[in-house]
Amino acid sequence: MIATAATTSRPRSKGRIALYVLQVVLGLFMAVGSGAPKLFGEATAVQSFDAIGAGDWFRYLIGALEVAGGIGLMIPVLAGLAAACFVALMIGAVFFQVFVIGMAEYVYTPIILGVLFALIAWVRRQEIAALVRR
């Protein structure tokens, strides 16, 4: 008997499909909605980083990390590692919001995003371990 792709591939669970959708939505949000404005000097992004006092280099660095991580979230083999890196970035964002800028009222966005990234990283923890072993 000859096996076809339809008989050998396992069906995707609803949870796995939801995970992929979450990764793509967050990946697009981080790359296009968050990282790109920092790289292209959007006025609000410039103003936010001026409040930090670190200079344009820090805005470019964060923007590049967000774009790269957003793309990584959309590549299944890299999604777990990208999500884990975003958890660290969101912890840094919370720190800056509370202690450097002093605007704790805006801390909820990086906390919510951090929890979503942590969920993705936890679900994809075996893939992260496989990447580390390589």
- CA proximity to 129, closest of 72, 70, 84, 69: 84
Give the pLDDT confidence score for residue 10 in this predicted structure: 58
Query: Is the residue at 4 inside a domain?
Result: no
Torsion 64-26-45-95 (CA) sign: negative
What pLDDT digit, counting tens, does each position of 103-114 carry? 788 899 999 999
Give the pLDDT confidence score for residue 118 in this predicted structure: 98
Query: Is the residue at 5 inside a domain?
Result: no
Rounded to whole angstroms, the Cα distance separating 32 from 63 reads 10
Q: What is the pTM of this model?
A: 0.85
What pLDDT digit, counting tens, does each position of 17-75 carry? 999 999 999 999 999 999 999 999 999 889 888 888 888 999 999 999 999 999 999 99
pLDDT at 14 over 50: yes
Give the pLDDT confidence score for residue 18 in this predicted structure: 93
Give the pLDDT confidence score for residue 87 in this predicted structure: 98
Specify whether the CB–CB gap between 88 and 94 falls below 8 A.
Answer: no
Rounded to whole angstroms, the Cα distance separating 97 from 84 reads 20
Tally of structural domains, the chain: 1
Rounded to whole angstroms, the Cα distance separating 15 from 21 reads 10
Q: What are the backbone dihedrals phi and psi of residue 71, each rounded to the nearest 5 degrees, phi first? A: -65, -40
Which residue range(s) make up the domain with 93? 15-133
- CA proximity to 86, closest of 48, 113, 105: 113
